[in-house]
A and B are shown apart, each in its own frame.
Chain A
Amino acid sequence: MNKIKEEILLLIDRADLIRYFVGSELKALYKNKVLGFAWAVLDPFFVMLVYVVLVSVIFKRGGEQFPILLFSSLLPWRWFSYAANSSVKTFIANASLIQTVKFPLSIFPINSVLIGCFNYMVGLVVLIPMLFYFNANITLNILWIFPLILVQLIFIFGISMIVSVIGVYFNDLQNILAFTLRIGFYLSPALYELSSIPSEYQKIYILINPFASLFQTCKNILVYGTPPESSILIYCLYAITFFLIGIYLITKQSKKIPKLL
């Protein structure tokens, strides 16, 4: 427990480093492209467009509000999958740095999480005019998004720490993860509604898939204008569990990892 506290304090102490890491990564990501920063908006937008064409135009399903329902759950998913996919190889990618300077190792996964978070926020800014255009029921419940961002931060940080540590020992995780995330997206209610799951399985589905309650809450507060249901507590519970496992793993392994790279 003390070690966990120490790791968090070290992270706070090196806030300047985190800021520069994230800032430079974002700069490098967008600076040398003609459309530059616009890609942060266009990337998720095009993904959404593909699904809208597929579901709304070709399958003629999903209803009128499908684009915003999809977008409000696609954004948190992209944040999660970006962070997990880049954390799994982050220690290997930064091996030369890790072997020269002493770092609190959790700094590398948190970078991926914050870069994903930045893209998520940009996505939200784009979502707002879309909500108006597609006649979403905008109420004060939309403010629930702020605590929800915080919980997601904890959830994603936890998962990112876990995969970053395992990724050092087990290189194949990079490939496995990319594949699992792809399937995971279809197993989560982004492209469809929770209500389309057979009702006898709904409870267990919400219990075992944290994204079920997360996506449902995103749709509730952003599109339907209703407050989050109590099922979001399941997601919160997952968040705390993953965070504790992650930070435990990373502090436990931080002496071994530099030697293994």
Chain B
Amino acid sequence: MSVIIKAENIGIKFNLGKVGYKKMHITLKDILQKGEEVRKTEENSSDFWALKNISFSINKGDILGVVGSNGSGKSTLLRIIAGVYSLDEGELEVKGTISPLLSLGTGFKPALSGYDNIFLNGVVMGFKKHEIEKHVKEIIEFSELGNFIFQPVKNYSSGMKARLGFSIAVFLKRDIMLIDEVLGVGDYKFREKSQNKMQEIIHSGQTIIIVSHNLESIKKFANKAIWINKGELMMAGETNQVLDKYTS
């Protein structure tokens, strides 16, 4: 099994203090009033480590589930892997291309038709036009939107939007798929269909990283899991073991 993602002690910090001129303004005023000490505390308290000392590795074909409570840094981790955030610490090695799953509706232009939005979403995700053309039929068919595909997306119900987003994501994929809380979209019937499709993708050897609060789906799909709490890695290992610890 070849390692496709390897993270070693990665960490990322955000500056929660005021940024830019506001920060400047505060420090100037405070320095005038109280001197150096204020500026020191200001600097220290405004750094917030969203993730620290996270290490894990994923082989090709692994499905990694990421669990943790709200605000624990799960989505931040996905963004780091997608290459959106750059690291402040540690090393991350990604061997392969990544298709981030746009959270529902992100990147849709409401005034445009569903058909146009398939292409727009596809190129946003980094696909070339001819690559999208190859899959556009399957996407429309799977989404079950029928003639609605030529209607502006603003006329869609939220379920229809979700179906279209999901269909785009499962047909336009790269070496590593990133999924953030979008399993099980639409009505009961479509949910079943999408779960089956996910199973099919998993059996095809696709590498996937899933972030979800739905432990059932993580249990069902993932073979590995990591548990993050307040930016720190609590546990990494087999899905069942990690979930047992997490829920206990």
- Could you tell me which A residues sit within 8 Å of B by CB distance? 14, 16-17, 19-21, 24, 27-28, 31-32, 96-102, 169-170, 255, 258-260
Closest to B154 in A: A32
Whether the pair A20, B106 counts as a contact (CB closer than 8 A) is no
Residues of chain A with a CB closer than 8 A to B129's CB: 16, 20
A16 to B102, CA, bound (A): 18
Residue among A24, A96, A169, A170 facing the most chain B CB atoms (10 A cut-off) = A24
Q: Which of B62-98 contact A (CB under 8 A)?
A: 79, 82-86
Whether the pair A169, B20 counts as a contact (CB closer than 8 A) is yes
Chain B's nearest CB lies how many Å from the CB of A105? Answer: 11
Whether the pair A17, B111 counts as a contact (CB closer than 8 A) is no
Whether the pair A28, B128 counts as a contact (CB closer than 8 A) is no
Whether the pair A101, B111 counts as a contact (CB closer than 8 A) is no
Whether the pair A258, B111 counts as a contact (CB closer than 8 A) is no
Residues of chain B with a CB closer than 8 A to A28's CB: 109, 111-112
Q: Which of B13-46 contact A (CB under 8 A)?
A: 14-15, 19-21
Whether the pair B112, A260 counts as a contact (CB closer than 8 A) is no
**B11 CB–A CB distance under 8 Å:** no
Residues of chain B with a CB closer than 8 A to A14's CB: 123, 126
Chain B's nearest CB lies how many Å from the CB of A10? Answer: 11
Q: In the complex where A169-B20, A169-B21 touch, is A102 in contact with B123 (Cβ < 8 A)?
A: no
A17 to B128, CA, bound (A): 8
Closest to B130 in A: A16
Q: In the complex where A16-B128, A27-B112 touch, is A102 in contact with B82 (Cβ < 8 A)?
A: yes
**B107 CB–A CB distance under 8 Å:** yes
- Which label, helix, strand, loop or mixed, suits the secondary structure of the A interface? helix
A100 to B14, CA, bound (A): 17
Residues of chain A with a CB closer than 8 A to B116's CB: 24, 27
15 A-B residue pairs with CB within 8 Å: A14-B123, A16-B128, A20-B120, A21-B123, A24-B120, A32-B152, A97-B106, A97-B107, A98-B84, A99-B79, A102-B84, A259-B14, A259-B15, A259-B85, A260-B19
A258 to B21, CA, bound (A): 18
- Could you tell me which B residues sit within 8 Å of A by CB distance? 14-15, 19-21, 79, 82-86, 100, 102-103, 106-107, 109, 111-112, 116, 119-120, 123-129, 152
Q: In the complex where A17-B123, A20-B123 touch, is A100 in contact with B79 (Cβ < 8 A)?
A: yes
B84 in complex: contacting residue of A169, A258, A260, CB < 8 Å:
A258
Chain B's nearest CB lies how many Å from the CB of A229? Answer: 41
A100 to B181, CA, bound (A): 13
Closest to A28 in B: B111
A31 to B109, CA, bound (A): 12
Residues of chain A with a CB closer than 8 A to B111's CB: 27-28, 31-32
Chain B's nearest CB lies how many Å from the CB of A23? Answer: 9
Residues of chain A with a CB closer than 8 A to B124's CB: 17, 20, 97, 101
A16 to B126, CA, bound (A): 9
Whether the pair B19, A258 counts as a contact (CB closer than 8 A) is no
A101 to B120, CA, bound (A): 13
Whether the pair A20, B103 counts as a contact (CB closer than 8 A) is no
Given A17-B126, A24-B116, A27-B116, 7 more pairs with CB closer than 8 A? A16-B123, A17-B124, A20-B119, A97-B124, A101-B100, A102-B82, A255-B86
Residues of chain B with a CB closer than 8 A to A16's CB: 123, 127-129
